[in-house]
Structures are given as C-alpha cells and as structure tokens.
Amino acid sequence: MEIIYTQDNVEGEPGPNLYWRGRPSEFVQLLVDAHRLGVSPGVTLRMEDLPYIRLSGINSFTATSSEEGGCLTRMENGSLLSDLKSGLWREFLHNVLSISFYRSHVYQELSVSGLTSEVNIIMSSEE
C-alpha cells in the first residue's frame, strides 16, 4: 500500500490530497493494525512502521486516538497528523472496510462538524 501526499487532483478532488492506494487485502491488514484506535483513547500508530505501507511526499504519518480528538488531517513540518476520538476512528475504519471486499474507492468524510482537515483523504483498492 502506498500513501501519497500530493497537491494534484485525485479522483476529481482538488489538492492537497492524501491518496491511499493498495489491494483489498492490504486494507484488511490496515483494519487489523488500526483496530485499537477505535477501541480506546491513548493509542498511537505510526503508519510508516507498518511493513506493507510506503509513504510518498511526507516524512511520517501518525494516527492518534484521544479524548479531545478533532483533527482528521494536519500537516506539520512535512509530517501528517491525525488525532480523532475512538468513535470517529470507528467511522473511519468502517469506510476502510467498505473498500476491502473488492476494488473500489472512498472519500473519507466523517460525520462531525468542526473537524480540522487540511488534507483530503481518498482511498482506493483499485491498484
């Protein structure tokens, strides 16, 4: 799976975008590895530490589950940060599940107002 940060249009969405491209089986593995983010606060997952993920255009990508969590995406010195409440991570992972069955894509939009999002997230299992 490759996670690409780009200023270009992706799937019709103007940049900046974070484009996740992988096989359905890689999205299943992501569900397993990221599951704990949706269970409780205080969890941190560095995407670059997962052996099947390659980052392009960013130095690192850290996902955190916290009590306050209100940031889907924020760029900081070439690194991407996501900090969400556990319930929002569960919604995020439901969207990942939807593309793990067969080749398709999804635009990550979470159902909460006031969520900080500096970068669009588009995921595709059509690789």
- CATH code of 2-124, in short, is 3.30.1360
Per the rule left: phi > 0, alpha: psi between -120 and 50, beta: everything else, 90 is alpha
Distance CA 83, CA 70 (A): 6
pTM listed for this prediction = 0.90
Distances (CA, A) of 57 to 9, 41, 102, 120: 15, 28, 27, 14
* Encoded amino acid at 100, one letter: S
In 8-104, which residue ranges form alpha helices assigned H by DSSP?
A: 24-34, 86-98
Interval 6-57: pLDDT, tens: 999 998 888 899 999 999 999 999 999 999 999 999 999 999 999 999 999 9
The domain locations on the chain are 2-124
Interval 84-95: pLDDT, tens: 999 999 999 999
